Structure 1
Amino acid sequence: MTKRIEWSIRAIRRGRDDGMALITVVIFGTVLVMLVATAAAFSSSGAINSRTQDDWNAAMSAAYAGVEDYKSRLANDTTYVQYRNPASSFSSTSTGGLPPTTNPAFGADGSWANVPSGSPGVQSRSFFRYEVDNSQYSATGVIKLRSTGMVGKEVRSLVVNVRQQGFIDFLYFTDFEVQDPTQSDLDCNSSTGKPNYAWTYSTNTHDSDCTEIQFGPNDVINGPLHSNDTLLICGSTFNGAVTTSNTKSPYYKKVSGCSNPTWSATYGPPTVDSTWGMPQTNLQMKSETRTDLDSVKRPGCLYTGPTVITFTGDGKMNVKSPFSIKTQVKGDPPSDGIAAPMCGTPGNVANGLGSKTGATIDVIPQNLIYVQDVPSSGDPNATAVGTWPANFTCLNTSSKTGFQIDTTRFPMSTETVPSATPSHYGCRAGDVYVQGTLHGQLTIAAQNYVYITGDLLYQDKTKDMLGLVGNNAVWVWNPMNGGTPLLAKDRTIYAAILSVGHTFMVQNYDLGPTSGRGSLNIYGAIAQEFRGTVGKSSGQGYTKNYNYDSRFKYTAPPKFLSPVSTTYGISTLVEVPKAFKPDGSPAG
């Protein structure tokens, strides 16, 4: 009996143990199932989040791809700037329509362009589209582009300013580091009509018929510099990046007996860069004064013959241009024209361009002035040879040239006229004489010479901007009576300066006292075909003090001339709220 009872108790205990084990297994199994389910859910969520994050980052890369696509199209066709999608609100103030060859990136009918995958036959998940604002291109050379990238359901947009890279990317640009052959009277040109670069010779020196020009020991260059030629340096100071097309290390040539140059601590000695090509002439700028071209939305002003411009600091300028008849034209060669009110009234009338006092007018806003030679016939601005407008006197003699507009006279009455090719102060030449304080944004181009006859200043250094483009030389006017200066020392010039076919230089740089003419202070940019002399090591002439206008990294004077071949860079970039939904419809 007792044994049965013990057996029964053991059986009950064994049953209880078995039940507890089963319950434990069930509990642990449930927990494991929950853990597995949680892990699976977490893994799935992580994968989704990871994919979303990847798509978010990739969408910005796709937007960048859109920018690069547009830059590439511009580089291959500089006229591509005229195209846009008129239906885009971003392009509402722009001009032009869709290109004749379909480009899905313009987003017409909701289209997107696909970012190439890099694998033939495989389409990537990345897409882009862009919108163009070209409303400021003619004035500043800047195109505003909004590029949108899409990957999956992620969309991101950015806005960039695309700007053509050009001469004003440098404080100082020179094609050849020799004196202009027309000024030195030496046969420096090769069979191509231009000199050879020094680095093409084993000696890294120009032909003996060329006059090489060096940077002197007191010269200070405060900004980026590029030369297509070999730089000849004598102890100068360079406080910006220096590049050259010379491939012969150390990429410059030190003048014998001179101290070493001082290089920027940030940029160091010169590095090698590509060759930038000069345009043949600046005559294409004259087309900006035509009224019959669809590409010219805001024609500038065409003046004819010797033209004297004085900025008065109050947003106005005084213009004396007696030969000017039609200040905007049509046709090439011109067949007709108008006297545009904004350019001043032609002729000898009150406040007229040909009056004794000239025309005082508003500075032409964000536009261009072109000064041409006087045509002799078959042109709306033609004046027969030997015929002179009212208030204009030609002072030509057998030994010198010159003219007088009322009391304004070139040369000065006591001035010894220097020799130059073509001659100084031509009575029918497309020369412009400019000085004063500018308040506005303007480019002045001349078919012949540009003379800077006094200080050229800005009334507002943050907003005002001036471009000077001479087809021939751009002269710093420095009149002399024999060896005696007729103007005060020092000269200050705010401008982007370009001499297309010749040089930027000081008139009579080799005359005057050995104590010099003081400092030539440039705030802007200088580009020229040949190195221009501004002073001599003996002390005559000016000492350089050149300073870069950093605004030229982002913008340019209106309708300024660019190299024959160029690339496009991004001057500013900012991410903005997405412009579109994944289905291509506007986001807001």
Structure 2
Amino acid sequence: MKKWGVTMKKYNNDRGFTLIVVLLAFCVIMVLLLGLITTVSSQQTISSFTEKQEKSIQYAEAGFNKYLWYLNEYSDFYEMEEGQEMVGQPIAYDHGFYQLEVLPPDELDRYVTIRSTGWVEGEETNKRTIEVQVQRKQFVHHVYASESEGNNIWWTAGDEVHGPYHTNGHLRIRNPVFYDTVSYSGNYIRGNPYSPTYHNIHGGAEKSETMEIPATNSSLEQWAAMDGYVFEGRTAIHLKGDKIKVKYIENNTVIEEERPLPPNDIIYIKGNQNNNKWHPDTGNLFISGELEGRLTIGAENNIYITATDPTEWYDDQEWYPGGQYRNDESQVPPTPLENPSQGGITYKNTTFGDPDNPSVWDSEREIWIREAEGEDMLGLVANHDVLILHHGWLRDGTDGNGWSWDYEWEKRWTGPFWNRRFRNWQRSSTDSRMYDVAPNDMHIHGAVFATQGGFGFENHDSGSRKGDIILWGNITQKERLAVGIINSTGYLKKYAHDPRMFYRYPPRILEPTNLGWEIRDWKEVTGE
């Protein structure tokens, strides 16, 4: 019995041990299962978080790309009401949102900074932000841009360029002074003497890619037509603040009217392209005055900048000495218009720095800067040349045979004398010279654009020595034209860039055909 009792006791101990093993195994399995469940759950959570993070950055990039699309359509989109409405508020996209912040360019930072933050709906605490700096090469970013520098035209003594300069052609240098970046796409040609002064971070000129100039300004006509501001044939415009006085010929009738600036800010002069600047059918614009507002004017042919109001047309008999017959020798013959001391086109509510010192050294930032304050902005875009009017004037009158477009208007007769036989004042037909109507100093505020020609002084190699062309803005031209002969005729150049044109442009001003927006820097920023 004892033996069997022992055996029975041993059997009971084995069964208890087995139960413990089973329980331990069960616990291990449960721990493993719980671990697996936790791992799977964590992986799902991580996967979900990663997916939301990826979605957030995708939404941020979508916001940037959307804004960049608008910039490609409207280069100054950040100035437009639609552009400002896109900034500072959540915009729904897919299953989430993006929100934009935009920092426009200025004279120091010449690029647009776009900050775009994206997040998944319901995950406002899980946002990602990118910051991208983009820059668009524009003609108006320069004080001077050209396709060609012409034939044997040099930058020389007395020439100062206050702003970025670029030419697609050869840069011919003697001893000018540059106060900003200088770039060229052709060759760098040193003259004699050669001692240029470069006030820029590069300490000289740099080779760069070309900026292709559009062949025509025809796109402006479409915008002008929307408001009924397309004028046919030779047109004179005097800028009178926020209005224009316009004079043109329609069906052999002179029409003179005053209008407000067009809602689209665009005027277009349509007509023939020929060399007869006075012909009533030619697409020439004659313009001067003072602008209050934003305006771009395109001309199918040439633009002539005048010293005084070009809508004041004159008849031969009231302008030229001896033109009116007199019965009394004591009556003095009419006196021709005198050359004004200055004239051209200026802004009414925009001020610039000192024209004698347009670039000022900023010791804190260690750069040369230019000053401009105001909202006025003008663009003048000719399909051919933009010229300072030198000789002659617009005529108003008939010669008895219908409209007379006698091109002797470019000459004045001097030495009027009293004809005792006929008892009247007469002019000498043997003593004639070109009538000079150009001012001593010509002021031009705005962007001047010549798609197939250039900017220059009409008949630059004749007449007396003038003063200065004082330009605040931009000159873009197919081929550089002369404005005078050194120490002989014409003008000296005082060209200063309007620094506002780094970020605010004349309405619909033409842009390079081969360059869009380029990314200067892309990065993700934290802490948002």
TM-score by length of 1: 0.53
Q: Give the superposition deviation at 1:70.
A: 5.2
Who is 1:373 aligned against?
271
**Cα distance in 1 between the residues matched to 2:168 and 2:486:** 24
Who is 2:331 aligned against?
none
Who is 1:304 aligned against?
232
State whether structure 2 residue 449 is matched by structure 1 residue 509: no
Where 1:175 maps in the other structure, the secondary structure is strand
Where 1:437 maps in the other structure, the secondary structure is strand
**What residue identity is the alignment partner of 1:302?**
V
Structure 1 pair 144–304 and aligned structure 2 pair: CA distance change class (3 A): farther
Matches within 5 A, 1:77-476: 90-91=85-86, 107-108=92-93, 110-111=94-95, 129=98, 147-150=116-119, 153-155=125-127, 164-178=136-150, 211-246=151-186, 252-255=188-191, 257-291=192-226, 299=227, 301-313=229-241, 315-323=242-250, 354-355=254-255, 358-365=256-263, 367-373=265-271, 422-454=275-307, 455-461=344-350, 462-476=374-388
Q: Give the superposition deviation at 1:290.
A: 4.1
Identical-pair percentage: 27
Gaps of 5+ in 2: 1-48, 103-110, 308-343, 351-373, 393-410, 412-432
**Cα distance in 2 between the residues matched to 1:303 and 1:132:** 42
**Cα distance in 2 between the residues matched to 1:464 and 1:161:** 27
Q: Deviations over 1:367-401 (max 9, x none)?
A: 100100169xxxxxxxxxxxxxxxxxxxxxxxxxx
Question: What is the number of equivalent residue pairs in this alignment?
Answer: 361
Where 1:67 maps in the other structure, the secondary structure is helix
**Structure having the higher Rg:** 2
Does the 8 Å CA contact 1:171/1:525 hold for their aligned counterparts? yes
Matches within 5 A, 1:519-534: 519-534=468-483
Where 1:289 maps in the other structure, the secondary structure is helix
Where 2:223 maps in the other structure, the secondary structure is helix
Q: Deviations over 1:530-571 (max 9, x none)?
A: 011111124311100000001110011111111212222699
Where 2:219 maps in the other structure, the secondary structure is helix
Structure 1 pair 80–523 and aligned structure 2 pair: CA distance change class (3 A): closer
Who is 1:564 aligned against?
513
**Cα distance in 2 between the residues matched to 1:458 and 1:570:** 34
Who is 1:542 aligned against?
491
Structure 1 pair 160–466 and aligned structure 2 pair: CA distance change class (3 A): farther
**Cα distance in 1 between the residues matched to 2:229 and 2:508:** 12
Q: Deviations over 1:24-71 (max 9, x none)?
A: xxxxxxxxxxxxxxxxxxxxxxxxxxx9xxx9xx98998578536753
**What residue identity is the alignment partner of 1:67?**
F
Structure 1 pair 150–174 and aligned structure 2 pair: CA distance change class (3 A): same
Does the 8 Å CA contact 1:510/1:536 hold for their aligned counterparts? yes
RMSD: 4.4
Structure 1 pair 530–316 and aligned structure 2 pair: CA distance change class (3 A): same
**Cα distance in 2 between the residues matched to 1:269 and 1:463:** 33
Structure 1 pair 533–160 and aligned structure 2 pair: CA distance change class (3 A): same
**Cα distance in 1 between the residues matched to 2:501 and 2:101:** 22
Does the 8 Å CA contact 1:285/1:561 hold for their aligned counterparts? no
Q: Give the superposition deviation at 1:282.
A: 1.1
Q: Give the superposition deviation at 1:131.
A: 7.0
Does the 8 Å CA contact 2:163/2:178 hold for their aligned counterparts? yes
**Cα distance in 2 between the residues matched to 1:431 and 1:301:** 15
**Cα distance in 1 between the residues matched to 2:202 and 2:281:** 47
Q: Deviations over 1:486-523 (max 9, x none)?
A: 3331101001010001111111111123xx21101110
Q: Which has the higher strand share?
A: 2
**Cα distance in 2 between the residues matched to 1:62 and 1:242:** 40
**What residue identity is the alignment partner of 2:141?**
D
Q: Give the superposition deviation at 1:472.
A: 0.6
Structure 1 pair 556–540 and aligned structure 2 pair: CA distance change class (3 A): same
Structure 1 pair 524–161 and aligned structure 2 pair: CA distance change class (3 A): farther
Q: Deviations over 1:405-461 (max 9, x none)?
A: xxxxxxxxxxxxxxxx62322321111111001111100000000111121000011
Does the 8 Å CA contact 1:520/1:544 hold for their aligned counterparts? yes
**Cα distance in 1 between the residues matched to 2:185 and 2:218:** 27
Where 1:502 maps in the other structure, the secondary structure is coil
Where 2:301 maps in the other structure, the secondary structure is coil
Who is 2:333 aligned against?
none
**What residue identity is the alignment partner of 2:473?**
G
Structure 1 pair 477–145 and aligned structure 2 pair: CA distance change class (3 A): same
Does the 8 Å CA contact 1:374/1:430 hold for their aligned counterparts? yes
